[in-house]
Amino acid sequence: MHIFHEKKPTRIHLSEPTEEQLHEVVDKYDLHTIVEDDLLSGIIQDKVDSYDEQLFLVTHFPKYDSGNDKYDANSLFVLITKNTIITICKSPISKLQILFDLYIEGKTDQEDLLETSPYYILYKIIDVMYDKTLVSLNKFNKEIQVLEQDLFNRTKLNSKILSDLLVKRRNIVFLTHMLSPQGEILGELHTAVLKILNEDGDVYFEDLQYKFDKIMHTIQAVSENTHSLSSTYNALANIQTNAVISLLTVFTASIGILAMIT
Protein backbone atom coordinates (compact mmCIF):
# COMPACT_ATOMS: atom_id res chain seq x y z
CA MET A 1 0.00 0.00 0.00
CA HIS A 2 1.33 3.44 -0.92
CA ILE A 3 -0.21 6.36 0.86
CA PHE A 4 0.30 8.76 -2.06
CA HIS A 5 -1.50 8.32 -5.36
CA GLU A 6 -0.64 11.61 -7.03
CA LYS A 7 2.77 12.38 -8.45
CA LYS A 8 3.45 15.29 -6.12
CA PRO A 9 1.68 15.43 -2.74
CA THR A 10 0.12 18.61 -1.40
CA ARG A 11 2.47 20.34 1.02
CA ILE A 12 1.09 22.47 3.87
CA HIS A 13 3.04 24.36 6.51
CA LEU A 14 1.50 26.23 9.46
CA SER A 15 3.54 28.38 11.82
CA GLU A 16 1.96 29.62 15.06
CA PRO A 17 -1.50 28.49 13.90
CA THR A 18 -4.67 29.71 15.56
CA GLU A 19 -7.22 27.26 16.95
CA GLU A 20 -9.49 28.15 14.05
CA GLN A 21 -6.79 27.23 11.52
CA LEU A 22 -6.18 23.91 13.25
CA HIS A 23 -9.89 23.07 13.17
CA GLU A 24 -9.96 23.96 9.47
CA VAL A 25 -7.06 21.58 8.70
CA VAL A 26 -8.64 18.79 10.77
CA ASP A 27 -11.98 19.13 8.98
CA LYS A 28 -10.54 19.56 5.49
CA TYR A 29 -8.22 16.55 5.61
CA ASP A 30 -10.37 14.35 7.83
CA LEU A 31 -7.71 13.85 10.49
CA HIS A 32 -8.16 11.31 13.24
CA THR A 33 -9.83 12.59 16.44
CA ILE A 34 -6.74 11.69 18.50
CA VAL A 35 -4.62 13.81 16.16
CA GLU A 36 -7.07 16.67 16.59
CA ASP A 37 -6.87 16.39 20.38
CA ASP A 38 -3.07 16.38 20.28
CA LEU A 39 -2.92 19.42 18.01
CA LEU A 40 -5.24 21.43 20.22
CA SER A 41 -3.81 20.34 23.56
CA GLY A 42 -0.48 22.14 23.17
CA ILE A 43 2.81 20.57 24.29
CA ILE A 44 2.72 16.77 24.51
CA GLN A 45 5.29 13.99 24.61
CA ASP A 46 7.25 12.94 21.53
CA LYS A 47 5.55 10.07 19.73
CA VAL A 48 4.83 8.35 16.42
CA ASP A 49 1.29 7.17 15.70
CA SER A 50 -0.30 5.59 12.65
CA TYR A 51 -4.05 5.57 11.95
CA ASP A 52 -5.14 3.74 8.79
CA GLU A 53 -3.53 5.88 6.07
CA GLN A 54 -2.32 8.62 8.40
CA LEU A 55 1.13 8.95 9.94
CA PHE A 56 1.47 11.38 12.85
CA LEU A 57 4.81 12.49 14.32
CA VAL A 58 5.20 14.73 17.36
CA THR A 59 8.66 15.91 18.32
CA HIS A 60 10.39 18.92 19.89
CA PHE A 61 13.42 20.97 18.94
CA PRO A 62 15.27 23.69 20.85
CA LYS A 63 14.52 27.34 20.23
CA TYR A 64 16.82 29.85 21.92
CA ASP A 65 15.25 32.74 23.82
CA SER A 66 17.95 35.40 23.83
CA GLY A 67 15.94 37.67 26.13
CA ASN A 68 15.91 35.11 28.97
CA ASP A 69 19.13 33.34 27.92
CA LYS A 70 17.50 29.92 27.83
CA TYR A 71 16.17 27.26 25.45
CA ASP A 72 12.49 26.57 24.95
CA ALA A 73 10.89 23.49 23.39
CA ASN A 74 9.38 24.22 19.97
CA SER A 75 6.73 21.59 19.17
CA LEU A 76 6.77 20.20 15.63
CA PHE A 77 3.85 18.16 14.31
CA VAL A 78 4.20 16.26 11.03
CA LEU A 79 1.12 14.65 9.49
CA ILE A 80 1.19 12.48 6.40
CA THR A 81 -2.25 11.77 5.02
CA LYS A 82 -3.55 10.63 1.66
CA ASN A 83 -1.82 12.86 -0.93
CA THR A 84 -0.89 15.43 1.74
CA ILE A 85 1.98 16.19 4.09
CA ILE A 86 1.40 18.83 6.79
CA THR A 87 3.90 20.44 9.16
CA ILE A 88 2.77 22.54 12.13
CA CYS A 89 5.12 24.32 14.53
CA LYS A 90 4.34 26.27 17.69
CA SER A 91 6.94 28.96 16.92
CA PRO A 92 8.36 30.07 13.54
CA ILE A 93 11.20 27.96 12.13
CA SER A 94 13.00 29.81 9.34
CA LYS A 95 14.78 26.74 7.95
CA LEU A 96 11.51 24.83 7.71
CA GLN A 97 9.83 27.77 6.00
CA ILE A 98 12.65 27.92 3.43
CA LEU A 99 12.31 24.19 2.75
CA PHE A 100 8.56 24.62 2.32
CA ASP A 101 9.01 27.55 -0.10
CA LEU A 102 11.53 25.59 -2.18
CA TYR A 103 9.16 22.65 -2.38
CA ILE A 104 6.25 24.84 -3.49
CA GLU A 105 8.42 26.59 -6.08
CA GLY A 106 9.94 23.32 -7.28
CA LYS A 107 13.50 24.58 -6.86
CA THR A 108 14.99 21.74 -4.83
CA ASP A 109 18.00 19.74 -5.98
CA GLN A 110 16.12 16.48 -5.41
CA GLU A 111 12.84 17.44 -7.06
CA ASP A 112 12.19 13.94 -8.41
CA LEU A 113 12.48 12.40 -4.96
CA LEU A 114 10.26 15.08 -3.48
CA GLU A 115 7.62 14.28 -6.06
CA THR A 116 7.70 10.51 -5.72
CA SER A 117 8.79 9.77 -2.15
CA PRO A 118 6.82 11.01 0.88
CA TYR A 119 9.47 9.53 3.15
CA TYR A 120 12.09 11.74 1.50
CA ILE A 121 9.99 14.79 2.37
CA LEU A 122 9.76 13.58 5.96
CA TYR A 123 13.50 12.90 5.98
CA LYS A 124 14.30 16.41 4.72
CA ILE A 125 12.11 18.00 7.39
CA ILE A 126 13.87 16.16 10.24
CA ASP A 127 17.27 16.56 8.58
CA VAL A 128 16.86 20.34 8.39
CA MET A 129 15.90 20.46 12.06
CA TYR A 130 18.89 18.33 13.07
CA ASP A 131 21.24 20.60 11.11
CA LYS A 132 19.72 23.63 12.83
CA THR A 133 20.17 21.97 16.23
CA LEU A 134 23.82 21.19 15.52
CA VAL A 135 24.49 24.82 14.55
CA SER A 136 22.86 25.96 17.80
CA LEU A 137 24.94 23.51 19.85
CA ASN A 138 28.18 24.62 18.17
CA LYS A 139 27.32 28.21 19.08
CA PHE A 140 26.62 27.06 22.64
CA ASN A 141 30.02 25.38 22.80
CA LYS A 142 31.76 28.58 21.62
CA GLU A 143 29.99 30.52 24.38
CA ILE A 144 31.44 28.05 26.91
CA GLN A 145 34.93 28.64 25.48
CA VAL A 146 34.48 32.43 25.73
CA LEU A 147 33.32 32.01 29.33
CA GLU A 148 36.39 29.91 30.07
CA GLN A 149 38.73 32.59 28.69
CA ASP A 150 36.90 35.23 30.71
CA LEU A 151 37.30 33.14 33.85
CA PHE A 152 41.06 32.75 33.48
CA ASN A 153 41.65 36.35 32.39
CA ARG A 154 40.02 37.82 35.50
CA THR A 155 42.13 38.53 38.57
CA LYS A 156 39.04 38.39 40.77
CA LEU A 157 35.92 36.27 40.49
CA ASN A 158 32.48 37.83 40.47
CA SER A 159 28.88 36.67 40.68
CA LYS A 160 28.25 37.18 36.93
CA ILE A 161 30.57 34.32 35.97
CA LEU A 162 28.85 32.03 38.46
CA SER A 163 25.44 33.13 37.17
CA ASP A 164 26.47 32.43 33.56
CA LEU A 165 27.73 28.98 34.53
CA LEU A 166 24.48 28.11 36.29
CA VAL A 167 22.48 29.25 33.25
CA LYS A 168 24.61 27.10 30.93
CA ARG A 169 24.20 24.06 33.16
CA ARG A 170 20.45 24.59 33.30
CA ASN A 171 20.29 24.80 29.50
CA ILE A 172 22.33 21.61 29.09
CA VAL A 173 19.98 19.68 31.38
CA PHE A 174 16.99 21.01 29.43
CA LEU A 175 18.49 20.07 26.04
CA THR A 176 19.36 16.58 27.24
CA HIS A 177 15.87 15.87 28.57
CA MET A 178 14.19 17.31 25.48
CA LEU A 179 16.27 15.63 22.77
CA SER A 180 17.11 12.23 24.29
CA PRO A 181 13.62 10.70 23.57
CA GLN A 182 14.22 11.15 19.84
CA GLY A 183 16.54 8.14 19.79
CA GLU A 184 13.55 5.90 20.45
CA ILE A 185 11.31 7.99 18.20
CA LEU A 186 13.58 7.45 15.19
CA GLY A 187 13.26 3.68 15.60
CA GLU A 188 9.47 3.90 15.85
CA LEU A 189 9.38 6.22 12.84
CA HIS A 190 11.38 3.78 10.75
CA THR A 191 8.97 0.98 11.63
CA ALA A 192 5.93 3.16 10.85
CA VAL A 193 7.38 4.17 7.48
CA LEU A 194 7.82 0.53 6.52
CA LYS A 195 4.27 -0.22 7.58
CA ILE A 196 2.36 2.83 6.31
CA LEU A 197 4.40 4.22 3.42
CA ASN A 198 5.67 0.87 2.17
CA GLU A 199 9.15 2.35 1.69
CA ASP A 200 12.50 1.09 2.86
CA GLY A 201 14.39 4.35 3.41
CA ASP A 202 17.25 2.70 5.33
CA VAL A 203 19.79 5.11 3.87
CA TYR A 204 17.83 8.15 5.00
CA PHE A 205 17.14 6.65 8.42
CA GLU A 206 20.83 5.85 8.95
CA ASP A 207 21.72 9.44 8.09
CA LEU A 208 19.20 10.76 10.63
CA GLN A 209 20.48 8.34 13.26
CA TYR A 210 24.05 9.50 12.59
CA LYS A 211 23.09 13.15 13.03
CA PHE A 212 21.09 12.41 16.17
CA ASP A 213 24.08 10.56 17.67
CA LYS A 214 26.27 13.54 16.76
CA ILE A 215 23.83 15.88 18.51
CA MET A 216 23.86 13.81 21.70
CA HIS A 217 27.66 13.50 21.62
CA THR A 218 27.93 17.27 21.22
CA ILE A 219 25.61 17.82 24.18
CA GLN A 220 27.70 15.41 26.24
CA ALA A 221 30.91 17.25 25.28
CA VAL A 222 29.39 20.63 26.15
CA SER A 223 28.14 19.19 29.44
CA GLU A 224 31.61 17.90 30.33
CA ASN A 225 33.19 21.25 29.42
CA THR A 226 30.68 23.10 31.59
CA HIS A 227 31.20 20.77 34.56
CA SER A 228 34.98 21.14 34.16
CA LEU A 229 34.60 24.92 34.08
CA SER A 230 32.43 24.78 37.21
CA SER A 231 35.10 22.76 39.00
CA THR A 232 37.73 25.29 37.91
CA TYR A 233 35.58 28.14 39.20
CA ASN A 234 35.15 26.38 42.55
CA ALA A 235 38.91 25.79 42.80
CA LEU A 236 39.72 29.43 42.02
CA ALA A 237 37.03 30.57 44.45
CA ASN A 238 38.58 28.40 47.19
CA ILE A 239 42.03 29.84 46.47
CA GLN A 240 40.62 33.36 46.63
CA THR A 241 38.76 32.58 49.85
CA ASN A 242 41.85 31.03 51.45
CA ALA A 243 43.88 34.12 50.56
CA VAL A 244 41.29 36.35 52.21
CA ILE A 245 41.17 34.10 55.31
CA SER A 246 44.99 34.17 55.54
CA LEU A 247 44.95 37.97 55.38
CA LEU A 248 42.27 38.14 58.05
CA THR A 249 44.23 35.71 60.24
CA VAL A 250 47.33 37.89 60.07
CA PHE A 251 45.23 40.98 60.85
CA THR A 252 43.56 39.24 63.78
CA ALA A 253 46.91 38.07 65.17
CA SER A 254 48.26 41.63 64.89
CA ILE A 255 45.26 43.00 66.78
CA GLY A 256 45.78 40.30 69.44
CA ILE A 257 49.42 41.26 69.96
CA LEU A 258 48.55 44.95 70.21
CA ALA A 259 45.80 44.13 72.71
CA MET A 260 48.24 42.08 74.81
CA ILE A 261 50.80 44.90 74.79
CA THR A 262 48.11 47.38 75.79
In this prediction, what percent of the chain has a pLDDT beyond 90? 14
Say if residue 48's pLDDT is above 60.
Answer: yes
- Does residue 5 form part of some domain? no
- Does residue 216 form part of some domain? yes
Say if residue 5's pLDDT is above 50.
Answer: no
Write down the pLDDT at residue 261. 76
Write down the pLDDT at residue 179. 92
182 CB burial (10 A radius; 0-12, 13-18, 19+):
buried
Write down the pLDDT at residue 229. 80
Between 60 and 252, where is the model more confident?
A: 60
- Does residue 2 form part of some domain? no
Look up the CATH number of the domain holding residue 134: 3.30.460.20
- Domain that includes residue 88, residue range: 10-261
- Does residue 1 form part of some domain? no
pLDDT in tens, 235-257: 666 666 666 666 667 667 677 77
Please choose, from the candidates 187, 182, 175, 253, the residue with its C-alpha nearest in 3D space to the C-alpha of residue 220: 175
Structural domain tally of the chain? 1
pLDDT in tens, 85-128: 888 988 888 888 888 887 777 655 554 555 556 777 888 889 99
Q: How far is CA 182 from CA 91, 96, 173, 192, 225, in A?
A: 19, 18, 15, 15, 24
